[in-house]
Amino acid sequence: MDRFITLKIIDVLMKRLNIDLGERSYDILIGRNILPQVGEFISKRFEPSRSIIITHPSVRNLFGEKLEPGLVNAGYSPGIIEIPEGEISKSLQQAELVYDRMLEMNCDRKSTLIALGGGVVGDLTGFIAATYQRGIPFIQIPTTLLSQVDSSVGGKTAVNHPRGKNMIGAFHQPKLVVVDLDTLQTLPKNEFKAGLAEVIKYGIIADEKLFTFLENNTKEILSLNRDCLQYIIETSCAIKAKVVEKDERENRHRMILNFGHTFGHSIETLTNYTEYLHGEALAIGMIQAAWLSVETGECSEDVPIRITNLLKKFNLPVHSPNLKSEDVISSMYHDKKTTHNKLRFILVKNIGSVEIVDDVPELAVKAALNKNH
């Protein structure tokens, strides 16, 4: 938190956090009603030849009027490429359609893509920016809680392959991330709550104070109190920035961001991605990972119980769907995060502290799954 610099722009308070990655360093700007200033933020940082906004039609309807005039005033009259809503757009086919449009628009290597939307728009835009003419700049303007605290920061970009999510991708850092808290006011409630699961994850892996804040301010957060939102988003981004600075390409330490994800991905896969939002499956996955931590002697039962109680307060799912433990374990071996056929998990020691454990026995995983029915 001390890493933030407070800036005042036209009577609006904004926080700036720099993520230090050498020549790939960039700022994360967090504030209210800051979309109109994006053109100005860009011009202070680099010189694009032009800008192209990639977004969904509904997102453009909500936020285009705030964003586009400022870009025009700064001299970057934006081209607009609209893509269909939903995970279906995270595909090589959709990427190709966007490359076609960019070539028609004569985009060059200094053209800058602006991802305006949630995780799908951000991941696809980042992937296109990583590959168009061997890499061009892009900026992230995440408009969902999940993308504000997770996918817009850290440079993971990808599209899906029919045989697995995020299978085709690249590390490509954005030049800037702009989080306008006002975008959350129109976010559907279930998506907001699913995003909170990632915020809770940051509390578990790195910050007991954040976890306690979430326990004590549930009502205010659910009613979108702006000071609470500012605090939880800033804190989450600061934790993610620190982890990414230490291990940008996920050689090991960055894996702690995957706490609960191995269980969560199994639930998503075995329910064909139709029953749970990612954050909802993650909520159940974090409880299962915490029970696994009890099984392996990392922590006491208080930890999964405390996590379950917090998730319940936010009305997130806490019980596993009816899945066979053999199927869950088998799908874990197919997870992109599994290597050398060993089950590796992020286990919790205390709220605020985790460790990466390789080669966890299947029996312990089965026992943990049984505790969560």
- Give contact residues for ligand GLY (rule: CB under 6 A): 150, 154, 156, 254, 257
Do the strands 176-180 and 138-142 form a parallel or antiparallel pair, or are they unpaired? Answer: parallel
Shortest Å distance, C-beta 341 to ligand GLY: 22
> Is 261 a catalytic site residue?
yes
Which residue among the candidates 40, 191, 215, 250 is catalytic per the annotation?
250
| Residue sitting closest to ligand GLY (CB) | 257
Nearest to 339 by CA among 281, 258, 282: 258
- Cβ atoms of 266 and 335 closer than 8 Å: yes
> Is 254 a catalytic site residue?
yes
Shortest Å distance, C-beta 156 to ligand GLY: 5
**Quick one: 71 or 257, whose CB is closer to ligand GLY?**
257
- Cβ atoms of 267 and 288 closer than 8 Å: no
> Is 258 a catalytic site residue?
yes
In three-state secondary structure terms, 4 is coil
Which residue among the candidates 175, 265, 268, 344 is catalytic per the annotation?
265
Shortest Å distance, C-beta 253 to ligand GLY: 10
> Is 334 a catalytic site residue?
no
**Quick one: 101 or 253, whose CB is closer to ligand GLY?**
253
Do the strands 353-357 and 345-350 form a parallel or antiparallel pair, or are they unpaired? Answer: antiparallel
Which residue among the candidates 8, 104, 134, 341 is catalytic per the annotation?
134
Nearest to 257 by CA among 269, 267, 266, 248: 248
Helix axes 278-295, 261-270, angle to 10 degrees: 130
Q: How many CB atoms lie within 10 A of CB 363?
A: 9
> Is 275 a catalytic site residue?
no
List, edge to edge, every strand of the sheet that includes 176-180. 5-9, 12-19, 26-31, 176-180, 138-142, 111-117, 50-55, 79-82
Shortest Å distance, C-beta 177 to ligand GLY: 13
**Quick one: 153 or 290, whose CB is closer to ligand GLY?**
153
Fill in the amino acid letter for 229: L
Shortest Å distance, C-beta 255 to ligand GLY: 8
Name, in order, each residue with C-beta under 8 angstroms of 340's C-beta and a sequence gap of 6 or more: none
Shortest Å distance, C-beta 365 to ligand GLY: 21
**Quick one: 257 or 281, whose CB is closer to ligand GLY?**
257
> Is 134 a catalytic site residue?
yes
Which secondary structure element, helix H or strand E, spans residue 15, and what is its range? strand 12-19
Which residue among the candidates 201, 254, 268, 372 is catalytic per the annotation?
254
> Is 156 a catalytic site residue?
yes
> Is 336 a catalytic site residue?
no
Which residue among the candidates 175, 201, 258, 298 is catalytic per the annotation?
258
Listed in sequence order, the DSSP H helices in 105-160 are: 119-131, 145-146
**Quick one: 15 or 156, whose CB is closer to ligand GLY?**
156
**Quick one: 165 or 254, whose CB is closer to ligand GLY?**
254
Which residue among the candidates 15, 56, 90, 156 is catalytic per the annotation?
156
Q: Can you state the percent helix, strand and coil of the chain, rounding each to 5? A: 50, 20, 30
Catalytic (active-site) positions: 134, 156, 198, 240, 250, 254, 258, 261, 265, 278
